[in-house]
Amino acid sequence: MTGIEPPMQSSDELRTPDTPLLPGQVCRIYSMRMCPYAQRARLIAAAKGISHDIVNIDLNNKPDWFFDLNPYGEVPVVLHNGRHVYESLIAAEYLEEAFPKPKLFSDDPMVKAYERIFYNHWTKKGIPAFYSLLKAGYPDPEQSKRLSEHISTLESFMATLDKPYFHGESPGFSDYMIWPWFERMPMLTDITEFNLSALGCPRLVAWVDRMWKNPVVQHCKVDPQLMTQHYALYRKGRPDFTIGADGTAVPSQPAVPEALENLDGLREAHTRDRQK
C-alpha cells in the first residue's frame, strides 16, 4: 500500500462510528480541517497510502457520541478494526505501527530515539511558544525570543544530523510531526511579523522549502487564506471550526466564545464536556 489515496467522499459530512467505510477504506480519521494536531495523522496516512475516510468535527458543536471516542472531545481520533485511538502523537504512532509500509521510522533504535527527541522538543517547547506569540498578535519581544530559541534548537538538531530531513535522507515520521506548525508560519508572519527566514537558520529554511515540494505535504496542505481567516477568529476567541466546509455539511452554528487562553485545547466546559 503506497502512494497517496484521494478522499472518496465529503469530509464535512458527519459520519458516526458505525457508518460503514467505503469499499477499500481501512480506517476513519476524525479531524478538523485547520487543526495541526489532526494534520499529523492525515500526513502519516497519506505518506503510507492508507485508504481512509476523513470526517471533520465542528469542535464548537461536538456530537455527544464523539465523547465516547475521546473523553477530551479533541481531534484526531483514528478508528480501525472496530477500535479507536486518540491524542495526536499516539494516533500517528499507531498508524505507523499498524501499517508498517512504507516505514517512516529508522530501524536503528538510537536513530529512532533521536527522531523522537526532535519532535518531542517541538511538541513540548516549540508549539506552546508558537501559540503564545500568536495569541499576543503583535511582534511581542519576549514571545518572539522564546519561539526563536526553540526554532534555533531545531536548527542545531539539523546541524548535528547534517541531513536534509529530521528523518535523514527522506521525510519521515519526525518531519511530519513537526511540519504542521511550519506550514502555519506564513500565517504567523501575517499576524505577528515573525519571520523564520530572518532567524539565521539556513538548514531549517531549506527543510521548509524541501517539505513544500513533498507530494504528501501538498496533498494535506490547508488553504492559506482560510488558515489566516481561521486564526484571526481564533485570536478573537470565537473560532469557526467549519471554515472551508465544502457545502455538504450542516450549516455552522454561531461560534462559541472562548477565553483566549483556553483555545489550544478548548478546555472550557461548554466546548469540552459532553452535553447533559
Calpha distance 59→256 (Å, rounded): 9
pLDDT digits (tens, 9 = 90+) for 72-102: 999 999 999 999 999 999 999 999 999 999 9
Per-residue confidence (pLDDT) for residue 251, from 0 to 100: 41
pLDDT digits (tens, 9 = 90+) for 107-130: 999 999 999 999 999 999 999 999
Mean pLDDT score of the chain: 89
The answer to whether residue 162 is domain-embedded is yes
Question: The domain spanning residue 10 has which CATH number?
Answer: 3.40.30.10
The answer to whether residue 218 is domain-embedded is no
The answer to whether residue 220 is domain-embedded is no
Confidence of residue 268 (pLDDT cuts 50, 70, 90): very low
Q: How far is CA 130 from each of CA 124, 145, 151, 159, 160, rounded to the nearest angstrom?
A: 11, 11, 10, 22, 24
* Domain count along the chain: 2
Per-residue confidence (pLDDT) for residue 98, from 0 to 100: 97
pLDDT digits (tens, 9 = 90+) for 169-214: 999 999 999 999 999 999 999 999 999 999 999 999 999 999 999 9
Between 8 and 196, where is the model more confident?
Answer: 196
Question: The domain spanning residue 136 has which CATH number?
Answer: 1.20.1050.10
The answer to whether residue 23 is domain-embedded is yes
Burial of 56 (0-12, 13-18, 19+ CB in 10 A): buried
Per-residue confidence (pLDDT) for residue 236, from 0 to 100: 78
The answer to whether residue 229 is domain-embedded is no
User: What is the span of the domain harbouring residue 38?
Assistant: 1-103+237-276
Same domain, 186 and 250: no
Confidence of residue 134 (pLDDT cuts 50, 70, 90): very high
Q: Answer positive or negative: Cα dihedral of 52, 20, 93, 187.
A: positive
Same domain, 48 and 64: yes
pLDDT digits (tens, 9 = 90+) for 136-175: 999 999 999 999 999 999 999 999 999 999 999 999 999 9
Q: Provide the annotated active-site residues.
A: 35
